[in-house]
Structures are given as structure tokens and as C-alpha cells.
Structure 1
Amino acid sequence: MRMILVVLMVFGATLAARAQSTPPTDAIPVGTVRAEQKPISQNVEFVGRVEAPERVEVRARVKGYLEEVLFKEGDMIKAGAPLYRIESDTFEADVKQAEGALQRSKAGYDLAVIQLQRAEDLLAKAAGTVVARDQARALADQSKGAVTSDEANLSNAKINLGYTVISAPITGRIGRTNVTIGNVVGPDSGVLTTIVSQDPMYVTFPVSQRELMKHTSSENVTDPRELTVRIRFSDGTTYDQVGRINFVDVSVERTTDTVTVRAVIPNPKGQLTDGQLVRVLIGTDKPETKIVIPQASLIADQSGVYVFIVEEGKAVMRRVKIGGESGTGAIVDEGLSGGEQVIVEGLQSVRPGAQVRATPVPSTLSGT
């Protein structure tokens, strides 16, 4: 009898152990993903606009008929490349006239110098007068002044002749021409065309005082120039170049309490266009280790955000504090320590304390 009781006790213990190790048949099937600890460079997003560091409005500096347009609209232009040619005959004639006037004044000056020397020699021999010497000296000085004036007139004539060829002052992409061959152009003609530099480019964007202080007062960043700048286009794609902040305005916009920030970013392929509206992503080079879970696991109610995790075959609710996004994942600042099995599938049937049958599913977490 005692042997039978022992056998029954052992058999009962075995059944109880099997019952504990095997989920009940009414357990809810769920899919889970492990809460991962990942190095995260958190980004803050702003609206910005691309600006060319150099932008030049090309104008005519002398008046004349336009003979040639020497560029193709929209092309890349190098500094010094000729853009327009103005009829130069009149300006060439002005140069020759100035050269002739200079020759005459130089000849007059040479004669005045000789006469001054003669007057001084006669005065030294007591054969001349002081008045004659002074008159000769004054004439020499006048002649020298005439030479200086004519030299300046010749230089000015040559400068004006040089202005008949309008060249690119900077390297960049040139816009459309506002004048065509045969028109009279001059200083009053307005802008002939515009050139904007291409590489690198600026991106300017307003940042609130709170956001600026939040990022520059952290233990990882002490200078805004240490922050990385990325660009996201209107179609959702991210630009493949990384920029750096190079200027923070010295005053705050009173109406919006924002500071204008400017970043410089490479543009080797010309993908960025002056005036283009973009999304600006600000981050750091020093990623922090954060817990990341799929956004599909998040549930919100009036008290905040929570997730379900699996503990000992049961669904357990955990309140979490979300600190942002990382691609398809959510960054958890509080509530999880990493390694928990977070339920991502079958949530519609899960209740706190419910028995669940967990099946790991492939993680789809991706970074930005």
C-alpha cells in the first residue's frame, strides 16, 4: 500500500511538472521581438532652405550694343570665363585718343624740363632772372600734372575697353540671360544674368532656444559645430553627404523665439539647388546606447504609452517613456532594461496576465 502511494505521488508530481512546462491549450499565440540595446544617434528635424554661399547678379558696366552671348544657360561656368561681348569700336578709339593726348603732354613736359634747366643755368651765370626761372619751374610742374592726368585718362579708357567683355566673377551655375544680341546694354540695363556657386552649399534653418540649449548643454556636445547635419528631400530620401554647423546667429527672433542656424554641406554632384526647401536632421557623431523596440508594439491610452512583454508564459504590461524614433523602431528611455520579449503580433487578443504562447518573429528594426 505504501509502495502504491509513493508511485501515485511521483506520477502526480510528473503530471504537475508537465502541466507547468506546457502552455495551456487556450494560451494566446503571440509574436515577440527582443528589446535591443543599440547605438543611436538621435536626430532632431527642422525645416530648412538651401542657399548658395555666393550669388552674383551680372551687370554691364559700360553702354553699347550687345554683340555676343558666350554661354549656354544652365551650364557650369568657371570664374573668368567670358559671358557677354559688347561692341568695342568706340572704346578702342577712346584708348587711342587717350594715348595721343598722353604723348602730347609728355612732349610738353620734356620741353618744360629743358626750359627750366636753361633758366637755372642763366640765373647761375647772372644772365637770367629769378622770375624767368620761377616761370619755367611752374610750367614744368603744370606739364607734369598734365602727364599724370592723361595717364589716368588712358588707364580709364583701357578699363572701359576691358568692360566690353563681361566675365564671370565666380565659379558656379549660370541662369538664363535677360538680354539677347542686338540690344543696347549699360549700367542702367539691370541684371543680365545670375550665377550661383554650387559646392559647397549652405542650409539655413530656425532653431528654438529650447532645442539649441538641449543639444549644446548635453555632456556629449559642447559646441554646435560638433553636431552633424543631414538633409532629407521632399520625396523622403536622405542626402548622402554630411554637413556641419558653421554659424549660429547672434540674436534671437523676437516673434518666434528662434535662432537662425546655418550649416555648410558638400554638393559635389550638384543635387542641391539654391532656394530648395528641405528637412534638416541634426544629430551627433557620438551615438548613445539606447533600447529600441518596434513601433508596432506600442499601445497608447489616457495614461500614456505601454507595451506587453512575456514573463513566465504570461502577458505583463509595462509603461514606457518613448524618447524618439530610430527608423522603424521606437527609442525607450524608461520602462525596459533590454532583453525583454516584447509582443508585436496578436496584441488585439492580449490582456494583462493572460496566458500566451510566444513565438519569436524576425526583427524589422532599422536605423535612420
Structure 2
Amino acid sequence: MKKMNNIVLISAATMLGFAACKGPGQKGAPVIPPTPVNVIAATEAPAVYYDKYPATVVALNQVELRSQVSGFITGIFFKEGEIVQKGKVLYEIDRRKYEAAYLQAQANVASARASFERAKKDDDRYQRLADQDAVARQIVDNAKATLETSRSQLAAAEANLAAVRTDLDYSLIKAPFTGRIGISQVKLGAQVSPGSTLLNSISSENPIAVDFVVNENDIARFAALQGNAATGDSTFRLQLSNGTQYTHGGKILAIDRGVDNQTGTIRVRIEFNNPDDQLKDGMSCVLRVLNDQSGHRLLIPYKAITEQMGEYFVFVAGDSTATQKKVHLGPRIGDKIVIMDGIQPGEKVITEGFQRLRDGGKIQIGIPAAPQDAAAKK
């Protein structure tokens, strides 16, 4: 009997314990409060953006000046670094022996011409006598042979005179075109050899060109730009090595004849006006080519983008929940990014507070004031 009383007491204590655990003030599982967020509507706006290519400035005309005759430099007639006009005398090589050779060649021509004139008169005279049968035929033939010999000697003398005149002309080295000349590689009195001694370099400056390479897949795009008569100043822009933007626009001058089979690229040349001599041959720069997808595009702040495993997402706000959507990105423009697809204009993109969100998570639009701010307002 005593044992049964103990069992009843234990059961009652247990029931009282359970009753105590389920008091009237107890609640269910804790409720997670909504995440405060800020949003902005995705809007369409003009989006002008450029593809960037490393490029090099090149002169359209450039030549190394070398002597074609030997001798000593006896004159330098330019200021280094200045613009020289086509035909201006730049260097003089000792001309004395070339002038003497020219005078001798002139004398040889005069002598050969006199011999030719005498032989021609003799031929005419003997021909008239032969017509009257008053001279032997052999004398007539000899006169004709002498005439042809003197004719050949005159031609040889005139050819030698032309060659000597050419050497005399080569003793004065002139600018082949209008351009800027560099620093002289020789000084007065230096000896030069034909074709081997570099005297200087000269290059044209306005207009000037920029060379860059593109993938062979882009050939059709640049060929269309080359054939487009409406190509304007906004299509090609230059960014200089110091980060400044070149003010003048360019146009396609040429696309190279073939693709480099080692790299799969082709060279393209863009022509730019260079009135202020801002572009120099050999400069490095970045060529910006207007992207053909520029236009009205969907833009959102770049800070709204999250990346997961190489894919990009944004959180879109509903009435009280956030939905994660995958997007495909275009180029970045300042603090905004072009969205190619994934969301629609007008959708509210979460820009702040999404770091703690999950797809379908509860949200409260508007970041609440910090405690210290609330106290300050009181």
C-alpha cells in the first residue's frame, strides 16, 4: 500500500512539473525581425561606353636620313627639333670633288657633241657625193660608222653627266617632306659613308595615326566602321598615358592586309588631327572605341551587385520580402552598371542591407536611425 502511494506522489509531481513548464506567458519559436534595406528603382538612361585597346602613336610619314655619297659634313642648316619644309637643305657633304667631276663631265659631253656634229656633216657630205657616184662606197660606209660611233660616245658622255649631276645633288641632303626633324646624329666635320651612316630622322605630325590590334572576330565590326561615312568624332577617342583625354576624334585609315596567324589578331590604324603637336610618334595610349551596344540601357548602382561562383545577382524588393535574381552585366559607367538582362525597368533593387539577406527573406524598406541619432533627436 505504501509503495502505491509513492508512485501516485511521483506522478503528481511530474504533472506539476510539466504544468510549470507550460505557463500562461510562454511563446513559440522566436520570430526573426525583418531586415532593414534601402532600395532604388532600376531605370533606363543613355549609356555611352567604350571598348578599350592599348595603342601606339605612329607617324604617317617617317624616314631615316642617310647619305648616298661619301665625304665630310661641311654644313648643317637646321635647328634640331624644328619643323622643316619639303626641299629644305639639311646637310651638306664636301662638294668640291663632285663639282669638279661635274665640270669634267660637261666638258666630255661638249667634246662628244662636237665629234658627233663633225661626223654627221661628213656623213651628209659623202652621202651627197655617193648619190652622184663621185666617191667610193667604202668611204661612205666608214663615214656612217664614224657617225654611229660618235653618237654612242655622246650618249655615254650625257649618261655620265647625269650620274655625276646626281652625285652632286646627293651632296646636299634635303627634306623629303614637311615634318619635324630630330636630333642630329653627326656633327660638322664627321665623315659619312653611303647608306650606312645615319644622319637624322624626320617624321610628319599632322595628321598622325594610332595603331592597335583587334581580335580576328572583330574584323567585320571595324570594316563596317571604316565603310560608314557617318562615323563621327565620338567613335574613336584617345586617353593619353597621363590619364587626360585627347580632344580630337579619329577615323579609320586602314585595316592591315592579313591576320597574324600566331596571335589571331589584325592591326588597325586610326588617323587623328594633331594641330597642337600633342601626339608624338611612339607614345603609348589607350584607344577607346564606341561600343555598338551603347544607347538607352537599364542602369543600377554597382554596389547592388553580389557575386557568387562567377555569377552575378541582385536582390529585388517586393512588398515585404526580397527575391534574388541572376543578372548579366554590361560595362560599368562611373558608379553604375549596365544590366543586359535579368530584371525589368521599375523593379526596386536593394542597394543597402542585402548582405544579411537570403532569397525570400523578410525586409523593411528604409534603414532605421541609429540609437545615438534617435537620442540626439530627443
Q: Give the structure-1-normalised TM-score.
A: 0.78
Corresponding residue for residue 61 of structure 2: 54
Gap regions ≥5 residues in structure 2 = 1-32, 369-378
Conserved 8 A contact 1:313-1:357: no
Confirm whether residue 243 of structure 1 aligns to residue 274 of structure 2: no
Corresponding residue for residue 107 of structure 1: 114
Amino acid at match of 2:365: V
Amino acid at match of 1:184: Q
Q: How many residues align?
A: 329
Q: RMSD in angstroms over aligned alpha carbons?
A: 2.9
Once the two structures are superposed, the pairs formed by residues 13-24 of structure 1 within 5 Å of their partners are none
Distance 1:358 1:315 in 2: 15
Distance 1:303 1:49 in 2: 33
Corresponding residue for residue 28 of structure 1: 36
> Per-residue displacement from partner, 1:320-354 (whole Å, max 9, x unpaired)?
21111224321110123324444445555767431
Gap regions ≥5 residues in structure 1 = 1-24, 360-368
Cα displacement (A) at 1:185: 1.7
Once the two structures are superposed, the pairs formed by residues 193-272 of structure 1 within 5 Å of their partners are 193-212=200-219, 215=221, 222=224, 225-226=227-228, 228-272=235-279
Distance 1:256 1:294 in 2: 37
Conserved 8 A contact 1:314-1:356: no
Q: Give the structure-2-normalised TM-score.
A: 0.76
Q: What SS does the aligned partner of 1:137 have?
A: helix
User: Aligned to 2:298, which of 291, 296, 301?
Assistant: 291
Cα displacement (A) at 1:315: 5.3
Confirm whether residue 279 of structure 1 aligns to residue 313 of structure 2: no
Q: Closer, same or farther in 2 for the Cα pair 1:260/1:303, shift >3 Å?
A: closer
Cα displacement (A) at 1:85: 1.2
Q: Closer, same or farther in 2 for the Cα pair 1:75/1:99, shift >3 Å?
A: same
Identical amino acids, percent of aligned pairs = 29
Corresponding residue for residue 344 of structure 2: 337
Distance 1:238 1:348 in 2: 37
> Per-residue displacement from partner, 1:271-302 (whole Å, max 9, x unpaired)?
22222222222225784321122222322233
Cα displacement (A) at 1:63: 1.6
Corresponding residue for residue 27 of structure 2: none
Distance 2:350 2:291 in 1: 31
Conserved 8 A contact 1:310-1:358: no
Corresponding residue for residue 8 of structure 1: none
Distance 1:76 1:309 in 2: 63
Amino acid at match of 1:237: T
Distance 2:157 2:219 in 1: 61
Between Structure 1 and Structure 2, whose CA radius of gyration is higher?
A: 2
Q: Closer, same or farther in 2 for the Cα pair 1:257/1:106, shift >3 Å?
A: closer
Q: Closer, same or farther in 2 for the Cα pair 1:90/1:206, shift >3 Å?
A: same
Q: What SS does the aligned partner of 1:49 have?
A: strand
Corresponding residue for residue 17 of structure 1: none
Corresponding residue for residue 162 of structure 1: 169
Conserved 8 A contact 1:27-1:357: no
Distance 2:277 2:171 in 1: 31
Corresponding residue for residue 10 of structure 1: none
